[in-house]
Each structure stands twice: as C-alpha cells, then as structure tokens.
Structure 1
C-alpha cells in the first residue's frame, strides 16, 4: 500500500472521520519534506485543510518529491542510518520497508547502523522483538494466536511483519552495539560495522547507483526516512 494515495486503510480513516468527527473543528496539517540543492532538509509543501483534500494534495506532491521509481530491481542496496536519529531496530527497519519494493528477489540490503543498540524503543517492545524475531507474516500471525504477550501488543506484531522480507531478499545488519548472536537470533545476517564501513564508506558514496573499485554495483541511500523506492515491475497499474 505504500506509495499509493487510495488504500483500504485510508478509506477506513476517511469513513471514521466522516462518521465521528464532522461536528468537531478538526484541522489537518500535512508537510512534504525533501532536500534543497545543497542536500539540506527543506519543506517542499504545506497543506492545511479540514477535509481530505489537504492530504490528497500533499500525497500527490510527495509522490513527486519522495518516490524514486527505478527501471530495474536492485541487487544490492546499502543504507546509512544516521546515528543521531536511528538507535533501534524499531527505527532502523525503515531501511527495509522503504526499499522492499525496489530490491530484487535474492538481493541484499546492507544496513550500516553505528548507533543501533537495541531492538525496541521501550523495554517491553524490545523484549518481544528479541523473543520472536523477524520471521515472516505466517509465523507472526500464528504466534499472535498462540501467545498472549504478542496478542496484547499488536503494534509489536505489526512491526515484526513490517521488518520481515518474507524470505525474498537478505538483510545484513551492521550495528554499532548489538552482537552477532543478537542479530542472527532476530532473523537477520550480521556483518562487522567497521569492516563494512571501510568497504562502503558513506562519506565517499553518492545517493543512487555507485560502482565500487572491484566493479560491484550498489545503490546507496543516505536518508531512508525521506523516501520510498520501487522498481516499475512492483507497481502494477
């Protein structure tokens, strides 16, 4: 549903707003954030309304500003997680769900996460992620039925689904403060951060396609939270 304006979830939200909020003075404020010519964050649009039109206009602009549509699926994607922002898998997994529509079957996503030290943003979520891991939708749905702790925390269950590749491609995490055992137990592949930073130096890479000294082609993303990536074959209509 990501990258689309009209979705089942949006229809539910609109229905609820029409049914319950018509008599309240609700105002919706939407911003579209991109980068300027110098690579700095910049507001590209501000939309304020008391109905869904502001959302629709913001979404239409966001498709132009934030959505990267590629001509071919990507075999290897390297994502940099800014240590000032990303310290947990809960946040670092933006690298997965923002790029999944662009990555080729059997491809690889390498996540450089120097400040990553935990899985959840609070102790309860962290414990649940460590207990169950990212092992695909069918297993998570079964766990929800079988386990009260996960059933009582559906946001954690949803996160476990969002963070899974459903076995379609590999995620290699390079965290600053989590061990190989912790990463692999969660369902990902582990690589040493320092060695991978030497191979894929964010200071030397440019956003988009890069050809490495050994001839390897990678696609680099420095700000995954700002965009959505997909190749044309995943978009259907």
Structure 2
C-alpha cells in the first residue's frame, strides 16, 4: 500500500495519518496470520513504530509475529521495544539472525548486475530473506515505514526492510 496526500506544508496530523492507515488496512481486509516488519529503534524518528502499533490494534490476535528490520543492527532491548511500540505484546517480537535465519528466494544474474551498473559490478546477487517470510504461513506480510532517503542505498523502508532488514550477508 502506498499513500500520498498533501494537505499543507505542515503535513498530516497524527489523527489523519492513523485514519488513512486504518482505511488502507480495511481495504486489505481481515486476515488470520499477519507478520509485521517495522523498522528498528534506529528509525524511531519515523512513524514505523506507530504503524506497527496501529496494525496490531487493527488486526488484534491475527498479528502472530513482529520482526523488526534489524539487518546487522544490535537487537532491540525490551525497553526499546516498549518505547517504540507502546502497548504491543513483547512476546510477538522476534530477533532477526542474518547469519542463520535466512533462505534464498532467487538470484539476480551477474549479467543483469553488469548491465545496470554499466560494468562497474560483476557478480550474482542472492535474494535472501528471513525464513519466517517464506515458511511462516502468513497470509499478510506488512513492511512498515515511510519511504525516505537513505545515505547508503538510496531509499529506506519499503523493500529495504525486507531484503536488507530481514536479509542475509549478500543483501546487507
């Protein structure tokens, strides 16, 4: 789900943001098994934490797991989880282990990488994600957060949450 709206230079109020988000979730419909992939505490300045709180409020017991997009960051402490995701059951949180908890879901051929990098890079890239995304039996996986500039790879959140935040060494 991508949402864009301009009211004024001040942006959306928290209430308007929540309303728009909940309306988007309503369009997705009810689910049985939901996985949330929000950013970790290093992105607390964004609304990713609140989006996870609101998604948990909307889906209730259908939220079976929350997998913060850690990449190689230090796992969040219980206090950080409480601060960033107020009121959410800490038992829902899983720590991503980028060395052991991954599966390869595909490979980008080196020829394609050579082409798009104009010959600057020449290797294949394994698309790896946390095994929960593939084997967790979820009927909805939500990568939460705003798409914002990132100093290294161009954009943060969106697919970065998945392929870097829950990925393996090749993606990170």
Taking structure 1 as the reference length, the TM-score comes to 0.33
User: Relative to total residues, which structure has the larger strand share, 1 or 2?
Assistant: 1
Larger radius of gyration: 1
Taking structure 2 as the reference length, the TM-score comes to 0.42
